Structure 1
Amino acid sequence: MKKIVLLIISALLISGCATTPEANSEFSAADLNFAEEMIPHHEQAVLMSDIALTNSTSDEVLALARDIKAAQAPEIEQMSAWEGVRPSTHMGHMMDGMLSDEQIQELRDSEGATFDRLFLEGMIAHHEGAIKMAQKVTTSANKEVAALAAAIIKAQEKEIAFMKELIKFY
């Protein structure tokens, strides 16, 4: 009886200490840094998309703006919910691809084809910056982080290709 109890306790201790990548809920410092930088980065993309929904007259740009908001708003919520993520203290415009306050104001002040060209140029650079950030955590031990990074890269590479074709018309 004593041996059975010891075996059960040993099994429980071993299984309690072992974590599979799928069950991993721990976030490394790199994972948290990624989220803390990507959240304001995504927030700016959502802001740019909101401006596009007001200032663009292009059906393609309007659809792209809606798609960006639909993809990135839930990702912001997802990353914000990760244990250990703190509100960013980073100067947002210092991150790869972030637009300056002046560039955001220029978007707000533009309309029509001029707006569309500025939006596409800015969003291409913005997406390229997000891809660089996401590439740093594609091999994270946390499968949620790695999967999100891979999804960001895949979606934004596709959108960049689309925007590079679309910008030829402006």
Structure 2
Amino acid sequence: MKHLRRTIVATTTLIITGALLLTGCGDNPEPGSMSGMTPATTSSSAPAGQFNDADVAFASQMIPHHQQAVQMADMGIRKATTPAVKQLATAIKAAQDPEIKLMSGWLTTWGKPVPTPMHGHDMSGSMAGMMSDQEMSDLGNATGTMFDRMWTQLMVKHHQGAVTMAKTEQAAGKEAAAIALAKKIETDQNREIATMQRLMGQLPVS
């Protein structure tokens, strides 16, 4: 009886030891798949390695383009006398501030430099629709309904430039999130252009 008991214990020990060895020799777990850990991933909206030069150019140029639009929007919020102009300026700032942050995050993910605010630097020759220093100065000096009309005219020009840049990205870009943003910018700003063009027909000439 004692011999039988020793045999059962020895056999059980061998089975348990074998199971542990098989577990240890199985496939290695994926990095980060251990309990309590998650794999490190890049942003799902802009994966590293899935972009091209057109995507980088789009984000690098649209950021300062948007920054100038936000600067103009701030002027409109402060100085516009027509409620529709002030409302539009508020909407433009609310839309473009988050897009600046989004594109800045992409460039960081891609290992590319993020443009710094270029207030006071004339970049009118580098991107479609950008205001010159003189245009920004004239707008800043305008008052009353003259400001409202000038602001609206210049913002139409600015938006048209952004639409051109967005179309370029859609044609040449690779990163899906950047292309989707370009499509959104084209749609949103074309709608705002139509609104501003109607508005100009209602604003006094002087």
TM range (shorter): 0.7 to 0.9
Q: State which of 146, 153, 168 in structure 2 corresponds to 1:136.
A: 168
Distance 2:45 2:161 in 1: 30
The aligned amino acid for 2:124 is: H
TM-score (norm 1): 0.82
What is the Cα deviation at residue 24 of structure 1?
6.2
Of 84-93 and 113-122, deviating more is 84-93
Distance 2:134 2:112 in 1: 29
Question: Which one has a larger percent helix, Structure 1 or Structure 2?
Answer: 1
What is the Cα deviation at residue 104 of structure 1?
0.7
What is the Cα deviation at residue 130 of structure 1?
0.3
Distance 1:103 1:85 in 2: 31
Q: CA RMSD in A?
A: 2.3
Residue 149 (structure 1) aligns with: 182
Contact residue 54 and residue 174 of structure 2 kept, 8 A: no
Q: Which of 1 and 2 has greater Rg?
A: 2
Residue 9 (structure 1) aligns with: none
Aligned residues: 154
What is the Cα deviation at residue 55 of structure 1?
1.1
What is the Cα deviation at residue 88 of structure 1?
3.8
Distance 2:112 2:92 in 1: 23
What is the Cα deviation at residue 68 of structure 1?
0.2
Q: What does residue range 10-21 of structure 1 map to in structure 2 within 5 Å?
A: none
Distance 2:177 2:141 in 1: 39
Q: Give the 3-state SS of the residue equivalent to 1:33 in structure 2.
A: helix
Instruction: Spell out, residue by residue over 1:120-166, the C-alpha distance to the aligned partner (whole angstroms, 9 max, x if none).
Output: 11000000000000101114331100110000000000000000000
Q: What does residue range 24-103 of structure 1 map to in structure 2 within 5 Å?
A: 25=47, 26-82=50-106, 83=109, 84-88=111-115, 92-94=123-125, 95-103=127-135
TM-score (norm 2): 0.69
Structure 1: segments with no counterpart, 5+ residues: 7-21
Q: Percent identical across equivalent pairs?
A: 39
Distance 1:104 1:33 in 2: 24
Contact residue 170 and residue 179 of structure 2 kept, 8 A: yes
